[in-house]
Amino acid sequence: MALGVTLLILFSALIHSIWNVQLKKSQDPFKFLINIATCAWVIFTPYSIFKLFTSTISPEAVIFIFLSFIIHFFYFIFLGKAYSKFELSLVYPIARGLSVFLIPIYGIFILSETITKFALMGCFLIFYGIILTGSISHNYFTSINGFKKLFNSGVILALSIGLVISLYSLADKQASGGVDPILFVWFTDTSCILLFFYYQKRNKDYISYFSSNFKKLIVPGISQFMSYAIVIYAYSTTFLSYAGTFREVGTVFGAIFAKIFLGENFTVKKTVGIVFIISGALLISIF
C-alpha cells in the first residue's frame, strides 16, 4: 500500500481503539455504542445534508450504500445480543478474526484483486493474532467438552457477526469510489438512529441517557464515525484485501490502551498475538 494510505489507516485504527476502550469501560456496552453512533450522526448531519445536495453519488454507489445500511442494521442487532449475553473478550476476536479471514477471499475471488504471497501471509498472521489476543484457549479445540463450552460461550453469534462484518466491508468497498466518505458513514449509521428510537420505545431510557451524557459521547462518537470514514476513503484507493485486514492493527492499540487504562494483563499469548498482528501489518504495507 502507499505510505499515505498506510498512515491514514493507522490513524483510523488508533482512534477506533480509543472509543473501543471506552466501550469496554461502560456498564451497558450496547447502549453506549448506539448512543455514540447517534451522537456522531447528529454532529455530522449538517455536513452530510450539504454534501447530499452538492455532490454526485454514482448509481452503483447508491445500491451498495443501501446494502451496507441493511447489513449494518443486522450487525448492530447481533452485536446487541452478543454484548448482553456473552463475554466480549471471546466474541470480539472470533468476529473480527473471521472477517479478516473472509475479506481476502472476497478480494481475490469476487473483486479479482491480485495480492502478493507476502501480503496474503500477512492477512493470515493478523487473523491468528486477533484470535490470540482474545480469551480463546486452545483447550476449546482438544475435547468434546471444550467444543461444548466454546459453543455455549456465543461462538455461533460471534461467527454470524464476523460474516456480517465481511459482507458490509465488501459492500463498502464497492460503494467507496462513488460517494463522499463522511456522507457514506452518515447513511449507514442511520441504522443506529432507527435502533435508538426502537430501544427508546421499549426501554424508555435512551433519550435521557443521550441527553445527560451528550458531552461524554462526543469524543468516542466522532472517533467511531471518523475511523470508519477514513477506512471508506482507503477502500477507494487500494485493495479491500489490504485495507480490510490492515485496519485490524487497531487490535494492538486496543490491547495497549486496555493495559494502560483498564489494567488488563499482558499474557504471553496476547503478546504473541500482538507480534503476529504487527508482523502481518508490515507484510501488507511493504509488499
Q: What is the pLDDT of residues 199-253, one digit of tens each?
A: 999 888 899 999 999 999 999 999 999 999 999 999 999 999 889 888 888 878 8
Axis crossing angle, helix 268-286 with helix 250-262, rounded to the nearest 10: 150
Residue 184's nearest CA partner among 223, 231, 242 is 231
In this prediction, residue 142 has a pLDDT band, given cuts at 50, 70 and 90, of: low
The whole-model pTM stands at 0.88
Q: Residue 243 in contact with residue 281, Cβ under 8 Å? A: no
pLDDT of 256: 81
d(CA 280, CA 245): 9
DSSP type of residue 140: G
pLDDT of 227: 95
Q: Which three cell numbers stand for residue 137?
A: 484457549
pLDDT of 66: 96
Q: Residue 210 in contact with residue 28, Cβ under 8 Å? A: no
pLDDT of 212: 94
Give the pLDDT mean for 116-145.
77
Residue 135 has pLDDT above 70, yes or no: no
Average pLDDT, the chain: 87
Chain segment 94-113, per-residue pLDDT in tens:
777 788 889 998 999 999 99
pLDDT of 283: 86
Give the pLDDT mean for 137-155.
65
Q: How many CB atoms lie within 10 A of CB 2?
A: 11
pLDDT of 269: 81
Q: Which residue's C-alpha cell is 452530510?
A: 48
Give the pLDDT mean for 148-162.
75
Chain segment 251-267, per-residue pLDDT in tens:
788 778 877 877 777 77
More confident residue, 16 or 45: 45
Q: Which three cell numbers stand for residue 216?
A: 461524554
